[in-house]
Amino acid sequence: MADINIVQEHHLAPEQARAAAQQVADKLAEQFELTCRWEGDVLRFERSGVNGALTLLPNQAQLTIDLGFPISMMASQIEAKVAEKMRTVFVG
């Protein structure tokens, strides 16, 4: 089960949604030293102790993150920051 689950509605064209998702991933990669890769409309990211995916659907972005034990202690703080970033890039 994912430690963090965020669903963000949006009204962006597919290419705009992809650019917004990349902004979220870039921020996560910077903060947590993650590697990211696209698999179709799914942006996967990982590092030791953290893995997840940001899935783009029409009018919706779904983010799931699984956290290892040490970092799971900060799950609520991470969720709040990521949710705010998603609101910013997907809604404005």
Domains and CATH numbers, the chain: 4-90 (3.30.310.80)
Evaluate if residue 46 carries a pLDDT over 70: yes
Question: Which strands make up the sheet holding 42-47, listed edge to edge?
Answer: 4-9, 60-67, 50-57, 42-47, 35-39
What does residue 5 show for φ and ψ, rounded to 5 degrees?
-135, 120
The pTM assigned to this predicted structure is: 0.92
pLDDT in tens, 50-74: 999 999 999 999 999 999 988 899 9
**What stretches of 1-92 show up as alpha helix (H) in DSSP?**
14-32, 69-72, 75-90
DSSP secondary-structure letter at 51? Answer: E
Contact 42, 48 (CB under 8 A): no
What is the C-alpha separation between 54 and 41, in angstroms, rounded?
8
For residue 92, what pLDDT band results from cuts at 50, 70 and 90?
confident
Evaluate if residue 41 carries a pLDDT over 90: yes
